[in-house]
């Protein structure tokens, strides 16, 4: 059952959010009715409450979404809240819909998006994975973090060929090295308030780390937002090559680790925006003419179902006119179809940029 203190915190936070001007999906879909229906529920294995799910959005009214799943069961126990948020974020993944089976296809089908190097600075494709048998951040113990790190470190350390590299734990990492890795867009930043208030920074930096191959174009994040983030990135616009490298890495790691995948929701992740394929394919891109007209840009992004972020990721600024543009939805399509959606959208934006000259 939910104790009195948690209940009071929830009631108070709910009231403040309801009175706020927050534009989050949490505020929109956590109606009084749903709140009353869910506030006394807990998940069977980890005793997670509604407070765990909504605390990031309650603490950060500037959230876009504001909702996280403390453990895999939360998606079912609190489905009355998660389902409408999922449906809206992933552009119509309904509660009767089912994530299709994994189908990576061939990256070679996609041409270089910017062969002459006029627009795209770099290309990145990532996916997230949860290791079977563990909850998400808010429910992990310090021992779980260490155990997960040891499993993940073992798996990445045995990679061969172009994937061969080195695992670097965050604990004890040289500060200069850490800052450089963040600045070069390899490593996650520290102290994200959206994640911290979601309960994702407990025991930090214990169990957190990064694996980097020798060419520095394949990396794995350990125990940041998700148990595992698998990332492929390089300069330029060769999306197919970047995608194929990520797929090869995921497949190699999948031989050593068991990933948590749900029949309906696909790969399970901490944030509901990453369910399904968990794939985010992005470019750092300069579109100076389009960017002169932010409303037109926003319209085009919506048309192509793309999301625009700043240069250093979510909630960051666009430095030197470089934006981070990616697929918005990750669910309801296969992996191949998600990449195709992003590919076609970026192609459309570049065409529009050329016309706007």
Q: What residues are labeled active site?
A: 126, 225, 229, 271, 273, 280, 309, 314
With respect to ligand CIR, which residue has the nearer C-beta, 56 or 232?
56
Applying CB under 6 A, the span of 60-68, 93-101, 115-123, 148-156 interacting with ligand CIR comes to: 60-68
211 touches ligand CIR by CB under 6 A: no
Minimal distance, residue 194 CB to ligand CIR, in Å: 4
Report CA-CA distances (Å) from 215 to 112, 218, 253. Answer: 20, 8, 18
Position of tokens 């979404």? 65
| Cα–Cα distance measured from residue 221 to residue 229, given in angstroms and rounded to the nearest whole number | 5
Draw the binding track, 178-197, toward ligand CIR (x: CB under 6 A; -: no contact): ----------------x---
63 touches ligand CIR by CB under 6 A: yes
3-state secondary structure of 262: strand
- In this structure, the strands spanning 306-309 and 165-169 are unpaired
Residue ranges in 237-334 assigned as alpha helix (H): 239-254, 288-291, 294-303
Applying CB under 6 A, the span of 63-71, 123-131, 244-252, 294-302 interacting with ligand CIR comes to: 63-71
Applying CB under 6 A, the span of 31-39, 56-64, 171-179, 336-344 interacting with ligand CIR comes to: 56-64
CA nearest to 218, candidates 246, 178, 244: 246
135 touches ligand CIR by CB under 6 A: no
CB 132 within 8 A of CB 259: yes
Burial grade of 7 (CB within 10 A; 0-12, 13-18, 19 or more): middle
56 touches ligand CIR by CB under 6 A: yes
Report CA-CA distances (Å) from 269 to 11, 104, 304. Answer: 27, 19, 24
100 touches ligand CIR by CB under 6 A: no
Minimal distance, residue 314 CB to ligand CIR, in Å: 6
70 touches ligand CIR by CB under 6 A: no
The binding site for ligand CIR (CB under 6 A) comprises 56, 63-66, 194, 271, 273, 314
């Amino acid at each position: 059952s939910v104790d009195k203190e948690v209940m009071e915190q929830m009631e108070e936070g709910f009231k403040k959010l309801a009175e706020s001007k927050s534009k989050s999906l949490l505020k929109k879909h956590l109606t009084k009715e749903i709140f009353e229906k869910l506030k006394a529920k807990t998940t069977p294995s980890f005793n997670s409450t509604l407070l765990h799910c909504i605390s990031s959005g309650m603490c950060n009214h500037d959230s876009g979404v504001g909702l996280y799943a403390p453990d895999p069961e939360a998606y079912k126990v609190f489905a009355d809240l998660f389902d409408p948020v999922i449906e809206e974020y992933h552009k119509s993944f309904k509660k009767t819909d089912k994530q299709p089976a994994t189908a990576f296809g061939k990256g070679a089908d996609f041409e270089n998006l910017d062969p002459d190097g006029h627009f795209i600075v770099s290309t990145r494709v990532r996916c997230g994975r949860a290791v079977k048998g563990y909850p998400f951040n808010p429910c992990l113990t310090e021992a779980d973090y260490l155990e997960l790190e040891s499993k993940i470190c073992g798996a990445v350390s045995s990679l061969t060929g172009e994937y061969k590299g080195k695992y670097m734990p965050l604990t004890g990492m040289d500060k200069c090295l850490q800052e450089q890795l963040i600045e070069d867009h390899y490593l996650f930043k520290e102290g994200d308030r959206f994640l911290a208030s979601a309960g994702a920074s407990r025991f930090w930096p214990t169990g957190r780390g990064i694996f980097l191959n020798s060419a520095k174009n394949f990396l794995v994040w350990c125990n940041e937002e998700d148990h595992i983030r698998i990332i492929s990135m390089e300069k330029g616009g060769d999306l197919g090559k970047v995608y194929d490298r990520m797929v090869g890495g995921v497949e190699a790691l999948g031989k050593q680790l068991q990933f948590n995948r749900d029949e309906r929701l696909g790969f399970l992740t901490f944030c509901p925006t990453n369910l399904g394929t968990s794939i985010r394919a992005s470019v750092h891109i300069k579109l100076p003419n389009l960017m002169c007209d932010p409303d037109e840009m926003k319209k085009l992004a919506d048309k192509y179902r793309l999301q625009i972020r700043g240069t250093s990721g979510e909630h960051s600024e666009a430095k030197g006119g470089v934006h981070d543009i990616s697929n918005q939805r990750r669910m309801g399509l296969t992996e191949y179809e998600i990449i195709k959606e992003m590919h076609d959208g970026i192609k459309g934006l570049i065409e529009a940029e050329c016309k706007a000259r």
